[in-house]
Every structure is written in C-alpha cells, then in structure tokens.
C-alpha cells in the first residue's frame, strides 16, 4: 500500500459553525488535500452536506477550489450527506463519483402509523443528473483506491458488539433494492483511509453506521495495520446511552489513537466522553475547521 506524505482535512459542512460567515447544518462534507508518495498534490471531496444552499455558501466563503477536485466519495446514500452532488460534479468539470451500489437506491423512514418520508439522496442529485453534469459513477462493494494512497473501505463487515443501525421505537428504515423493499441496515456505509508517512493510518468517516470498531477492524485487516494515528468524522453515537458509548471507547483503546475529531452525528454526550478519554488528542470539529494531520492546532477546542 502506498503511503501519502501529508494530509490536510477541511470541514466544509458540519452541524456547528464557529467561524464568522459560515453556516452550520445537519450534514457533513470534507475536502481532503494531500501529497502522494511522489509529492504530487491531490484533492478529494467526501460528501456534500445536507443543504445545497449551505454547502455552496461555505464553498464560496472558504474559497474551496471545487474545479481542482479529482474525485468525489459518497459515504452513504442519506440526504444529509448528498445534498449537492450534482453541483459539486458540475463545479469540478465532471469528476468520478465513488459509492456503494446501494447508495442511490430509494430509502424511506416509516413511522409507527405507517407514514413515510424520503431519507435517501435528494431529488435531482441522482445518477442520471450526475452523469448529465459530466460525472462518471463507480459503484463498488470492495475497497477502491480513489487517488494514490487514499482508499475507500468498501462494504464493512459487522462482527463487533455494535448494533447497526440503533433500534428505533419510532419506526423502521426501508430501502428498495431491485424493486423489493427491505429493512435498511445501511450496508452502503463506507469510510476513507490512508497511511500518512511518519504518523500512521488515518480514517475519515461519514456517519460510521457500521460502527467505529467494525470500521477500524476492517481497515486494519485490509491494510495490515495494528494501530492507527487518527479518526475524524461522524461516529453515529447520538442517542446512545452512556454504557454503550463507554463500551465503544473501551473497544477503541487497543487501536492506540493519537488524534480523534468526532463530529456531526456523534452526539454531544459521546463527544464529551471522547474528550475525556483522549484529552491530548481530541480536536473539536465544525464548519470551517482545517486540520493539518500531525500538527497540534493552536486550540483543539475552539
């Protein structure tokens, strides 16, 4: 596996915004800027947030060069991560879009009264529209190298104690595959990973519906890693009780993380417990945050 020389992660969209003129909303988007093993620079976009307007506003305010993006990775097919796929592809002049085969399937949440609402990729952001904007879609269950040294996880096996998704008394999640309705356990959930020279592996998550323990175990097996330098992104621990979160933290300990930056769907309680568990490695994330991986920011909590 190729290493990369450096990694910079720019948070375009997150629930929180501490920077003036930037917007926060329920969604997530990262721009990864990195140098490959030969010193060549690359830019990869990971998700496009949950609001087209907010995503494009932040892109303009932060002067994000979408026209220099060479790939767009969809972590999974939920509306809070896919609101501006077509716009990002169009701004980039047509790029390759990487996702799991289930990412663009119809999805619903059905409450106990049988009322449904759509929770999948928003209307107008689907496969046909992406291709019309000049994008090329690559759907794969297996890991894919999207740029030299940066890989998707592909579909993640679920072998730990983690329940996916968390049980809901409010209703059920449904996905339509080949015209058949199924219980949606979000098999399309994937993350990005890379091995940073001098530091070690870093994992960037969208919502991590597969569970962070399953995700790290999978990446460790694929890449041959025992420990990791860092994890950043959504961990979908919102709504979990403290016992479940502490069990997760205990299971994460053996990976020897030196940087953690949970955000979006992690939830305040889990973020506070991660700060308690990783007081020296915790970095608060928000719209506008720029993380130079391997460097300690001037303020980790602001």
Q: What is the mean pLDDT of residues 187-206?
A: 98
List, edge to edge, every strand of the sheet that includes 180-183: 116-118, 107-111, 171-177, 180-183
Question: What is the DSSP secondary structure assignment for residue 99, as one 8-state letter?
Answer: E
What is the C-alpha to C-alpha distance for residues 274 and 25, in angstroms, rounded to an integer? 22
Q: pLDDT tens across 69-111, in order? A: 999 999 999 999 999 999 999 998 889 999 999 999 999 999 9
Give the count of beta carbons closer than 10 Å to the beta carbon of residue 178.
6
What is the C-alpha to C-alpha distance for residues 282 and 160, in angstroms, rounded to an integer? 24
| 167, pLDDT greater than 70 | no
- 1 inside domain: no
How many domains is the chain built from?
1
Q: What is the mean pLDDT of residues 198-215?
A: 98
- 299 inside domain: no
| 157, pLDDT greater than 70 | yes
What is the C-alpha to C-alpha distance for residues 256 and 260, in angstroms, rounded to an integer? 11
Looking at residue 112, which CATH number applies to its domain? 3.60.15.10
What is the C-alpha to C-alpha distance for residues 158 and 266, in angstroms, rounded to an integer? 19
Q: pLDDT tens across 105-141, in order? A: 999 999 989 999 999 999 999 999 999 999 999 999 9
- pLDDT band, residue 170 (cuts 50/70/90): confident
- 302 inside domain: no
- 255 inside domain: yes
- What percentage of the chain carries pLDDT values higher than 90? 92
Give the count of beta carbons closer than 10 Å to the beta carbon of residue 145.
13
- pLDDT band, residue 290 (cuts 50/70/90): very high
Tell me how far apart the terminal alpha carbons of the chain are, to the nearest angstrom: 35
280 in the Ramachandran plot: left (φ > 0), alpha (ψ -120 to 50) or beta?
alpha
The pLDDT, as a whole number, for residue 92 is: 84
- 96 inside domain: yes
Strand partners, 108: 118, 174
Q: pLDDT tens across 247-256, in order? A: 999 999 999 9
Q: Residue 34 in 3-state DSSP?
A: strand
Q: pLDDT tens across 44-56, in order? A: 999 999 999 999 9
Mean residue pLDDT across the chain: 96
Q: Of 98, 104, 99, which Cα lies nearest the Cα of 120?
A: 104
- 298 inside domain: no
| 19, pLDDT greater than 90 | no
- The reported pTM is 0.97
Segments in the chain forming alpha helices (H) = 52-62, 85-91, 127-132, 212-223, 242-252, 268-277
- 15 inside domain: yes
Domain that holds residue 40: 6-292
- 297 inside domain: no
- The continuous run of DSSP H or E covering 204 comes out as strand 200-205
- pLDDT band, residue 23 (cuts 50/70/90): very high
Question: What is the DSSP secondary structure assignment for residue 157, as one 8-state letter?
Answer: P
Q: What is the mean pLDDT of residues 176-197?
A: 97
């Amino acid at each position: 596996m190729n290493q990369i020389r450096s990694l910079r992660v720019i948070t375009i969209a997150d629930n929180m915004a501490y920077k003036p003129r930037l917007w926060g909303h329920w969604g997530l988007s990262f721009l990864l800027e990195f140098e490959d093993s030969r010193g060549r620079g690359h830019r990869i976009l990971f998700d496009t947030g949950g609001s087209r307007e907010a995503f494009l506003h932040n892109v303009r305010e932060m002067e994000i060069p979408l026209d220099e993006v060479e790939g767009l990775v969809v972590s999974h097919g939920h509306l809070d991560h896919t609101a501006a796929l077509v716009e990002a592809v169009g701004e980039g002049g047509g790029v390759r879009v990487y996702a799991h085969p289930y990412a663009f399937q119809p999805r619903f949440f059905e409450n106990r009264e049988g009322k449904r609402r759509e929770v999948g990729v928003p209307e107008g952001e689907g496969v046909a529209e992406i291709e019309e904007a000049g994008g090329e879609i690559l759907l794969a269950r297996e890991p894919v190298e999207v740029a030299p040294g940066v890989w998707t996880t592909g579909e993640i096996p679920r072998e730990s104690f983690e329940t996916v998704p968390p049980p809901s008394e409010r209703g059920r999640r449904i996905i339509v595959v080949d015209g058949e309705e199924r219980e949606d356990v979000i098999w399309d959930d994937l993350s990005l990973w890379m091995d940073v020279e001098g530091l070690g592996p870093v994992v960037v998550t969208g919502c991590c519906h597969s569970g962070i323990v399953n995700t790290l175990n999978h990446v460790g097996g694929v890449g041959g890693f025992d420990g990791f330098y860092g994890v950043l992104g959504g961990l979908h621990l919102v709504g979990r009780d403290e016992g479940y979160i502490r069990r997760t933290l205990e299971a994460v300990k053996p990976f020897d993380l030196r940087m953690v930056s949970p955000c979006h769907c992690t939830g305040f309680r889990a973020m506070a417990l991660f700060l308690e568990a990783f007081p020296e490695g915790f970095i608060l994330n928000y719209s506008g945050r720029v993380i130079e991986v391997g460097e300690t920011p001037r303020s980790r909590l602001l």
